[in-house]
Structure 1
């Protein structure tokens, strides 16, 4: 009487010489419930991971504190972490010892982290920039090396455009580890102009001229009020200072216009802007 693969137990299968196809069929019959359970866990787990990652991305994108880049990055982390949990769960359905797998993955992650510590430093700095938001796309910034407008913020690098039109790409770790001056973050800025007059000219008249120029310009804010003062006593001139506040968007044009207007008005009223001078006394031997 011939034996069928369905009549064999695993122990009996070891004692009987079966074909490869019969062995596979016997294994499938023996482990059918585990296979169904593993497939169910795999499908449900992957669907759940995708749903949760998309939900997290939508929730983070609604917050003003998170840029779209960081929202997508965090949602991918959630998805990959859930994939790892699903994989370990599926393997445990077949009796695989998952502790050794987790330890191996941990060791692999440590080795990759040590090999890519520079790259991971840029990623960590990119995350901090995107979360803390010392600057955003479109704002002008000033660092120790350059003054530029932010074009794009990535996880590894930040792309900038200098005011002379040059393209700059900076690793995020370099940006994060130095002082950054944001030229556009605050709504108002103060402009200070110092003009030198001769020692024989009237300081009061010079202050009144500068205040008149400030009051005549609509871009100058009334609060804080403009101030004119004696800023310095230099070798060849007396420095008369003017401080005004304006909207940040008007700062650059206002600084140019006030500087030009001050020179023209001083010439008109007869206030001199002297060149550097030296007095030489000849002493006979």
Structure 2
């Protein structure tokens, strides 16, 4: 029996398969490089269009993922695998995986909600999902934050959107809230004058809205005053710390005391017994 034709066919098919495999590898390598290039160009185009940096990064991540999927399908098709059937199989598998990974789909949906409603943007300092930090990036499933001590925190988007979000960078100005305690013996007008002088001497304090300085409460050990100046958001912590120090220095110079809780113990002798009766905290 003549089998030469079968040998020739196998050799021809083998050569064709090797050529197709090499072509598929080339498609994957070049396609991956092209996907990165097109993704960078798309990001630059969106940046030139002055889109929000958060939206640019999120859309860039999705676009890059879609282009990689297209490249993989093109490479598989070059080998000879029917992509139509493969897509159907992937779709069925994707449904099963999606049911198993409902949390990941929820994180993706939360990422879309972040883009739509924009509760925060890149560079904002926020408190959400049980963590606090500056928003560095919003991925398809996660949000990356950087803490003030330079730690990187990766939080699922669903966790970020599943509770209250406090955005400290949303407005250009913030109010510094200070509470100062003075003694009951200190003159009210003197205390008010000193606090107003400290606020007025700081050039970072804004005139509008006007600072608020009021006596707020009479406690067990001290009279509490609130000092609430408005400053630019970038100056918040510097003003908070430096104004606290300035108030202490001015109080020392003016003889205004900052009291602390004290307890007087009175000892009474009755024959051989000694009794101690603690008195209420007295104001100093």
**Does the alignment reach a TM-score above 0.5?**
yes
- Partner-residue secondary structure (3-state), 2:236: helix
Partner of 2:214: 229
Partner of 1:69: 57
Q: Which runs of 5+ in 1 are unaligned?
A: 1-18, 22-49, 84-97
Higher mean C-alpha deviation, range 187-196 or range 66-75: 66-75
The number of residues matched between the two structures is: 239
**Is 1:152 aligned with 2:137?**
yes
C-alpha spacing 1:167/1:59, structure 2 compared with 1 (3 Å): closer
Rounded to whole Å, the distance in 2 between the matches of 1:81 and 1:164 is 38
Matches for 1:211-226 after TM superposition, within 5 Å = 211-226=196-211
- Partner-residue secondary structure (3-state), 2:154: strand
Rounded to whole Å, the distance in 1 between the matches of 2:89 and 2:129 is 44
Report the TM-score, using the length of structure 1 for normalisation: 0.67
For residues 78-114 of structure 1, what are the alpha-carbon distances to aligned partners after superposition, in whole Å with 9 as ceiling and x for unaligned?
879999xxxxxxxxxxxxxx9x999866544422311
Matches for 1:194-209 after TM superposition, within 5 Å = 194-209=179-194
Shift of residue 116, structure 1, vs aligned partner: 2.0
Rounded to whole Å, the distance in 2 between the matches of 1:116 and 1:127 is 17
**Contact map agreement 2:122 2:137 (CA 8 A) in 1:** yes
- Partner-residue secondary structure (3-state), 1:128: helix
Shift of residue 264, structure 1, vs aligned partner: 0.6
Shift of residue 122, structure 1, vs aligned partner: 1.6
Report the TM-score, using the length of structure 2 for normalisation: 0.67
Rounded to whole Å, the distance in 1 between the matches of 2:129 and 2:141 is 20
Shift of residue 225, structure 1, vs aligned partner: 0.9
Rounded to whole Å, the distance in 1 between the matches of 2:53 and 2:146 is 23
Matches for 1:1-285 after TM superposition, within 5 Å = 62=49, 64-65=51-52, 67=54, 68-73=56-61, 75=63, 107-143=92-128, 145-279=130-264
Rounded to whole Å, the distance in 1 between the matches of 2:170 and 2:148 is 18
RMSD (CA atoms): 4.1
**Contact map agreement 1:70 1:131 (CA 8 A) in 2:** no
For residues 204-257 of structure 1, what are the alpha-carbon distances to aligned partners after superposition, in whole Å with 9 as ceiling and x for unaligned?
211121111111111000011112111111101000111110000111100111
Shift of residue 121, structure 1, vs aligned partner: 1.6
Q: Which runs of 5+ in 2 are unaligned?
A: 9-34, 72-83, 276-284
Rounded to whole Å, the distance in 2 between the matches of 1:168 and 1:57 is 24
